[in-house]
Structures are given as C-alpha cells and as structure tokens.
Structure 1
Amino acid sequence: MKLTSLLLALAVSASPLSQAAPAKKPGKKSVPSKPRAIGKAALPVAAAAATAAAASEAGDAPVFSESEAVNAFADEVALRHGFPRAELAELIGQIRYIDTAVQLVKPAPKGKPKNWQNYRRATIEPIRIRAGVAFWNQHAAVLARAQAEYGVPAEIIVGIIGVETIYGRQTGRFRVLDVLATLAFAYPEAPNRAARMAFFKGELENALVLARKSNIDPLSMLGSFAGAIGMPQFMPGSVLAYGVDYDNNGSIDLRGSAVDAIGSVASFLVQHGWQAKQQGPLVYPAAVSGQGSWENLLNQGLAARLRAEDLRAGGVTTGLDLPANQRFGLIDLPNGSDPTEYRIATDNFFAITQYNRSYFYAMSVIELGRAIRLSRTGQPLAQMETL
C-alpha cells in the first residue's frame, strides 16, 4: 500500500507551552491512502486529531510535491537512507504547509522589555507544582534510578518535563512532518534564514529516519509548532542522539512513556556537560558593585569560564562561599523597569541552557523543581537555596 507525502515539522523549545495548529479548509483536497512506516508493514491510520491539526491553511500555500527543492531533498534522503523513492513521493504528497509555524518562528515585535519575575510567575505556578508532585510520586523509583545512574537530580528532570509540557498535558498537536517541511522550505525572511532552513531540513530527515526506526507512520508524529516531540519536547535528531529506552521494552517512546522521557532528559543533560560530581547549588545569589568591571563578565557564552577571584575582582559578590576548584559565569535576569537580578552560574546551570538557550528557562527549571520538591516533602529551603 502506498504512502503519500513527506515534510513539515519544527521544534523550538523557546516557549514552554506547545500550541495547537488551527485547522482550516485545505485549498486542495486529496484522499490519502492508509499510512504506514516507509518500507514497513502497514500501520493504523493516525488519530483524527492529527488529521485536523495537519490540514493545510488557506491562501497561496506552497505545494511541496511540486517543489524542485523538496524533490531534490527527497532524492538525497532516499539515496542516503535507502527509502523507496516512490513511497517518499507518496508521503510528500500528504505533507501540508502550516502558516502558523511560520508566524510563530518570526522574531517577536519590539515591545515590553524582558521581565524575569513575570516569566517566573507564569511558570512556577500551582498547576505545574501539583502536577509535578503527582508525577514525582508516580515515578519516584525511576527518578531515583536516573539520579543514581546519571547524577542528575530528580528535581531537575521533573522541572524540565514540567516546564516543557506540564508532564505530557501539552505536547503539541501539529504533525511534525508538516511543520518541519514548512520551516525547512518556507522559512520566513530573517538574517539567519539559511541556517534555520538547513537545521529544519536536517530535522525533517531525522524525523523520517526516526519513524522508520520506531516502525511508526511518519504522519502520526505530533509535536510543537517547531517539531518538538513528546513529554520532554525533543527534536527528532535529539531523540535519535540522546533518547533512551529506559523502560527496556525495545523502543524509545517519548510520547507515551514517562520512563523513557525521564531517562532521555538525564541522558541529554549528561551529554551536554552536566557534571555529577559538582557540589553545591547550581546558581548562587549575586550582587554587583557600581565601581567594578562586572559588566565585562556578562555574555561570556553558555559556559562557566570565570574563577571566583575573577568575579571578586570585577565587583561581584555573594553571601555564600564559592568552591575554589570550580568555574562560573555571571548571568543577568532583567525585570523590565525594575532592578535587574544577577546570579553566579555553574557548569550544571549552563548544561540546562543547552536544552533551551535561555537564562530564564534554566532558572525556571531549577525553581520549579525545587518548589515541587518542597511541596512534596514539606522541607524548608536550605540556606544555599535562598536566592
């Protein structure tokens, strides 16, 4: 049985909440054949929700099956991975342009300045905390195993899954192939357009490989407006590179297996610089002196490069003792018209920023995980946790 088209999925975790694609009447109707994994036995038809979310949007939308660039891409993918070219053509015929994805990846218009405290209030809130306690209680043994094997604290894993999808409640309803194809071949004008298109082409290819490896219908994969998948919102390439079959059932399922999600988040962090032996808090409170050269210590990249003496010399102080054998970074947390907050960050803080390249994101993961732990155990904050 033939397939139909290939393409359209994208995933950026810049927003902690996935958004659903509004369904509109497609400009051209087609009757798809029953889907299956490419080159594998037929699989059940994707859920009705996927069909609705994947409907092409009104207007002069690109037709991917008629695109020379898309067909050249399909030729390359078929050659590299041994996909039957005719089946790729069938699949490409079913992929639809998603204008919502294009609109959401455009730079936000200049408006209100960034505000950490507003971001914090929107993320560290009762719904996530209650759901996090329930998730931790349900998967306590698995979280303890991941902490022991990877050295990543349970509260950090819980914090990431909570910020990303509220423990699987908001994983996204876009067809991954649709959004990846849209962003790979119809990315909006931007200074980094070529680099972003290349990234999404790679993720589109990864999505096809992942679907075949998992023996699933590639059109059944649902995710965020950027193509991120499952409870931890991994891009397809991250699933292939860092995903873990932590429940040992023979497959990596980040959509349906919380156990796999837990192991995969820990695996990702370790492979992005998490240091299990690092002691002390992930971030320290910081104050900056108007007389110092502390501004030169900001924006040193997403890595801990500074020694404790570098911070002191720059006029950065903290109420806690900094380990002499560690490196640090100085980060700023703007609060709009209110005073900016500062933190001294460690390697493990920066490992979290590899998941999402945002100080706000990493801080929200740390503080949500901590709030869930405290709510679950009733223990007071330790001195080093008071920021």
Structure 2
Amino acid sequence: MMWTLPQPVAKADEAPPPFDAWLDGVRQEAREKGIAEETIRVALTGIEPVRRVVQRDRNQSEFKLTYQIYHDRLLTPTNIRVGRGKLEKHRALLDQIAAEYGVQPRFILAIWGMETRYGAVKPTMPVIPAVATLAYDRRRSSYFRRELFQALQMIDQGLIPHSEMLGSWAGAMGQPQFMPSSYMAYARDHDGDGHRDIWSNEADVFASIANYLSKHGWHDDQTWGREVTLPAGAAFRAAIPAPRTGSGCRAIDSMSGAMGLADWQALGVRRADGSDLPTRNLPASLVEPDGADGKAFLVYRNYQSILRYNCAHLYGLAVSQLADAIGRR
C-alpha cells in the first residue's frame, strides 16, 4: 500500500502536488541537467515514498539521547577492542594514508567504527527511494533534492550500478556512510584500480574518510580536545565567549566562541582529573552537550572537522573519545 508523506510546503493559492506529479518534475530537471533518459527510466520508475525513512528522520538518536546514554551505547568494550585490532591489522596501510592526508589513523578508524562498526554493518536501503522520500518531505527538501541529483549522476557516470546503490535510511552509502555529494567530492581510489570503492575496498574507505577530514580543515599536529572541569559561579559564565553563528551546522553554532587554552586556564578550567590544561595555547571552544549541569569539554579545530561529518555533538564526542580509546596503549 502506498503511504502519503506530509505534503511539501506550497503557496497559499495552490495545492501541493502528489508524489507522482512531483517526481515528474524531478525527471524533467534531470533531463535539463543532461542525465541520460535510460538512467532516468531505470532509477525513477516505480518508486514510492518510504514511510520508515521519515520516521527515522524524526527520531535520530543524536538529537534525543543524553550524552552518557549515547556514550555508553557506542563506546563499548567490544567497539574499542575491535578498533584496536583493526589498527594492528591495517597499521601499514593506515600509516601510509595518514602520511598522505595528514589525519591520524585512530580518527579514521573511529569514524569507520561509528558509521558501520568497521564495515560489519551492511546497509540495505536502496538509495534513490530513500533520498527521493526526503527530497519530497518538507523538513530538508532542498538538501535532499540536491543529493537525489548527485545520486542520479553517479549512476549516469557508471560509478555504481543502480541495483547496487544501497545505503542507510537517509541515503548514506558504503562503509564510511557518504552521501552522494560527499562521494562525488571526497571519495578516493587509493589502490589505483580505477574505482572509488567505498563499499568493499578498505584502502579506498580509509583514504576517503581521511580526505574528507583533510578537506574540512584537519590538522594532524593536534587532537580533538578533552573533557574538563569548570569553576562554579556567574563570573565564569559571564566570561565565556559568545558563540559565533552562521556555520551551517547547529552543533558548531552552539559551541562557545574560541579563546586560547591559557585564557581558559586563567578562568579556572582544568582537565577532568583536576590538573592544568596543556601549555600549548591552542584556540578552544566550550561544549556542554547536556547543558551547564552536565559534562564539559574544550574542543579544538579538529572537532569541527568531525562535526562536518555529522553535525551533532553526541556524534562528535563519541568519535573523538573512541579515537582516544583506540589509540590508548
């Protein structure tokens, strides 16, 4: 049975189109973008909105759970143990990729582990219906419409057969869970076999994750940040720099403004164990994922690169702390 999504926002004097009429508009725009008629026929025939895709979009755990619950679900002894094993198994390859892209191996592995449990989770959702559903839905229609055309371009260019284009409920693909636009911009063919295979080739998976972080401002002479303790009182709260908004990522916009570690030290901020902050005066911002009564973290520029992968503090902190756990001897 076909299920009808909430209708897209329409002008007051016109009725919103049904899905089939909306899809006809997608087909026409695809033709105008130069996508082959055969690709349009194969990819856009017989698709319907997928109800569970919208349900998942409205119930993402990164925006509903507390820090501690999310942390405990994902930073399990098994995930840490497997990550350390993968580090040993792929050390030579990861060191090579780290040297090329300037991203430490533990962070590559942490994102791999968070996204698909080091490749063990195999996404099974056809990408085109998933992305089309979210493009038709009103919440993020512009973003997913662009992703839909990127997915069609991938098929049209022969980068992956339509039948093999499988991903998550939101259309994220392969072991690093790249959206179609991220695949087109950042996926890499590390082993030189002519294919950017993020589905089954670990060399390409690692290089693609590293390239994504590198292109989003990663510095391999820094870590991500650390948990800290904060002084009590209104005076400290008044001294916290105001957030800088307009980044396009709500999580980044919710962080405090940045100031040097020496300034945070002078305000009374200390490491989680009570010791002094590092003496290197890196710019750092304050993150409090559960508000002023929860845990606190000072984060550096690399943390923002992780948030560009997934714009949610619970995700960014979990990746960061998993990386620390994998790299800890």
- Structure with greater helix percent: 2
User: In structure 2, the residue corresponding to 1:357 is in which secondary structure?
Assistant: coil
- Relative distance call for 1:94 and 1:320 in structure 2 (3 A) is farther
1:329 aligns with 2:329: no
- CA–CA separation in structure 1 for the residues paired with 2:318 and 2:4: 40
State the match for 1:177 in structure 2. Answer: 128
Is 2:203 aligned against 1:246?
no
CA distance in 2 between partners of 1:60 and 1:359 (Å): 33
1:220-256 deviation line (CA, Å, top 9, x unaligned): 2111000000111010100111111112111101111
Relative CO higher for 1 or 2, CA cutoff 8 Å, sep ≥ 6? 1
Which amino acid counterpart does residue 333 of structure 1 have in structure 2? P
Q: What amino acid is the match of 1:239?
A: Y
Deviates more, 1:64-73 or 1:173-182: 64-73
Letter of the 1:233 partner, please give it: Q
Deviation at 1:212, TM superposition (A): 2.9
- Equivalent residue pairs, number: 304
Give the counterpart letter for 2:227 in structure 1: P
CA distance in 1, matches of 2:294, 2:116: 28
Q: Deviations over 1:160-201 (max 9, x none)?
A: 10011101121421100010011111x15xxxx2xx101101
Check whether the contact 1:207–1:218 (CA below 8 A) recurs between aligned residues.
no
CA distance in 2, matches of 1:168, 1:79: 37
**Cα 1:217/1:354, change in 2 over 3 Å:** same
Say if 1:114 and 1:300 are closer, same or farther in 2 by CA, change over 3 A.
Answer: farther
Q: Distance in 2 between matches of 1:86 and 1:253?
A: 24
1:113 deviation in Å? 7.2
**TM-score relative to the length of structure 2:** 0.82
Distance 1:233 1:66 in 2: 27
Describe how 1:114-125 pairs up with structure 2 within 5 A. Answer: 114-125=65-76
Q: Is contact 1:65–1:71 with CA below 8 Å preserved after alignment?
A: no
Fraction of identical pairs, as percent: 27
Question: What is the aligned partner in structure 1 of residue 249 from structure 2?
Answer: none
Q: TM-score, normalised by structure 1?
A: 0.71
Distance in 2, matches of 1:91 and 1:229, equals: 16
The residue correspondences of 1:163-242 to structure 2 (distance < 5 A) are: 163-185=114-136, 187=137, 193=139, 196-242=140-186
C-alpha contact (below 8 Å) 1:124/1:364 kept by paired residues: yes
Counterpart of 2:237 in structure 1 is 294
What amino acid maps onto 2:276 in structure 1?
L
Name the counterpart of 1:127. 78
User: Superposition RMSD on alpha carbons, in Å?
Assistant: 2.9
Q: Relative to structure 1, is the Cα distance of residues 202 and 311 closer, same or farther in structure 2, using a 3 angstrom cutoff?
A: same
Mapped contact 1:157–1:262 kept (Cα < 8 A) = yes
Distance of aligned partners of 1:144 and 1:207 in 2 relative to their CA distance in 1, 3 Å threshold: same
Q: In 2 relative to 1, CA 288–325 (structure 1 residues): closer, same or farther, beyond 3 Å?
A: closer
Contact 2:259 2:284 in 1 (8 A): yes
Alignment partners' CA distance in 2, 1:315 and 1:71? 61
Report deviation, 1:258.
1.1
Counterpart of 1:208 in 2: which secondary structure?
A: helix
List runs of 5+ in structure 1 lacking aligned partners: 1-26, 28-57, 380-387
Contact residue 349 and residue 362 of structure 1 kept, 8 A: yes
Match for 1:284 among 226, 230, 238?
226
Amino acid at match of 1:332: E
Report if aligned partners of 2:241, 2:258 keep a CA contact under 8 Å in 1: no
